[in-house]
């Protein structure tokens, strides 16, 4: 007497594991991230076909190094956007930290630690100042940090007379930060990995991260739940100041001197664009570090590819602006919110 063994199917009640596992994997990656991965692969393939050297290891390292500063700022921009805020002044914060690091280094007799400590100190002060103005001055974050964009840029130009300051490449620590490698990867990239991983773990696995999402999602409910919103906002802006200072130190190490504006202008647009492309809802409460890093990689490859192909650098600004608008439009469509001035 023969017997037949029924195969596990949806009809006889047994789960179809491959489909379930595949769906679980796709859900964990996220539709937004899958779109970014697809776009990144497309950009890599396109410029790889146009230029044989584009996909070389050397050029990939160039892209990674160039994207590090943007990546650092995009990571903390993600945090503040999730929290329901925004920081348009991050580029100017990088500039002032870069100048201070080089000037303190020179004044302290070529002491790299003095330069780094001074930059971190000014970063914390600027970040707390932004937070205090927003929280206790009750100023809209966009307006407050837009004012900071102009003010911090002006301060950097005043203290430096609008010129590059100092020379740091005679110091081993600055050379290591700007040009050193660990296990084949630039030190700058390792620093981005450490910061991004730390922030990701903070957001995903701690009460602090859950509270940040709660504040951005519904600040009234968060306040009623006992979350000290003021403390969180000031702390988040202080974190931005610290990471912007680190970016300023890396800018100094990479260029060899303190840069008041060169290398830092436009960083705020890149950081916000990366965060928005990565899935951050500009109204707060949604976003993640993984998507932001994918967007940073996409922007870095696009910028490098356009440069390698000799395309006018002005088009890079056009591309960034277009990508930011596209990201916001996609968010609005997905949320189902009515556009201003248009019927529902």
How confident is the model over 49-58, as a mean pLDDT?
A: 90
pLDDT in tens, 196-227: 999 999 999 999 999 999 999 999 999 999 99
Q: Which 3 state secondary structure label does DSSP give 143?
A: helix
CA dihedral for 245, 146, 69, 286, sign (positive or negative)? positive
Within its chain, how far is the Cα of 9 from the centroid? 45
pLDDT of 307 higher than 80: yes
Please report where in the chains the tokens 């002032």 appear, as a residue: 96
pLDDT of 39 higher than 60: yes
Determine which helix (DSSP H) or strand (DSSP E) holds 181, and give its type and residue range: strand 181-182
Please say whether the beta carbons of 75 and 199 come within 8 A. Answer: yes
Identify the CA nearest to 74 among candidates 256, 244, 258, 250. 244
pLDDT of 243 higher than 60: yes
How confident is the model over 75-95, as a mean pLDDT?
A: 95
CA dihedral for 155, 94, 270, 29, sign (positive or negative)? negative
Comparing 322 with 289, the larger pLDDT belongs to: 289
For 227, other C-beta atoms within 10 Å of its C-beta total: 18
What average pLDDT does the chain have?
Answer: 87
What is d(CA 283, CA 71) in angstroms, rounded to the nearest whole number? 21
Q: Which two tokens stand for residue 335?
A: 């949320």
How confident is the model over 134-157, as a mean pLDDT?
A: 95
């Amino acid at each position: 007497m023969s017997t037949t063994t029924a195969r596990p199917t949806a009809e006889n009640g047994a789960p179809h594991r491959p489909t379930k596992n595949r769906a679980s994997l796709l859900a964990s990656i996220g539709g937004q991230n899958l779109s970014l991965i697809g776009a990144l692969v497309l950009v890599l393939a396109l410029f790889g076909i146009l230029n044989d050297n584009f996909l070389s290891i050397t050029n990939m390292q160039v892209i990674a190094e160039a994207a590090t500063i943007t990546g650092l700022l995009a990571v903390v921009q993600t945090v503040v956007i999730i929290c329901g805020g925004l920081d348009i002044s991050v580029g100017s914060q990088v500039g002032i930290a870069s100048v201070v690091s080089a000037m303190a280094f020179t004044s302290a007799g070529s002491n790299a630690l003095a330069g780094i400590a001074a930059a971190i100190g000014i970063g914390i002060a600027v970040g707390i100042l932004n937070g205090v103005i927003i929280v206790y001055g009750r100023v809209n974050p966009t307006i407050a940090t837009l004012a900071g964009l102009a003010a911090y840029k002006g301060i950097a130009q005043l203290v430096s007379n609008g010129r590059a300051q100092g020379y740091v490449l005679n110091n081993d620590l600055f050379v290591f930060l700007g040009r050193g490698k660990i296990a084949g990867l630039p030190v700058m990239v390792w620093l981005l990995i450490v910061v991004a991983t730390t922030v990701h773990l903070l957001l995903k696995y701690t009460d602090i991260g859950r509270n940040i999402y709660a504040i951005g999602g519904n600040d009234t409910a968060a306040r009623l739940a006992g979350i000290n919103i003021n403390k969180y906002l000031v702390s988040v802006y202080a974190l931005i100041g610290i990471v912007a200072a680190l970016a300023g130190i890396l800018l100094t190490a990479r260029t060899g001197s303190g840069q008041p504006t060169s290398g830092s202008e436009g960083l705020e647009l890149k950081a916000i664009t990366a965060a928005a492309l990565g899935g951050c809802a500009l109204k707060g409460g949604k976003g993640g570090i993984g998507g932001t890093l994918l967007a940073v990689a996409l922007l870095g490859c696009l910028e490098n590819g356009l440069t390698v192909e000799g395309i006018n650098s002005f088009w890079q600004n056009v591309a960034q602006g277009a990508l930011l608008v596209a990201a916001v439009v996609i968010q609005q469509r997905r949320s189902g919110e009515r556009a201003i001035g248009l019927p529902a």
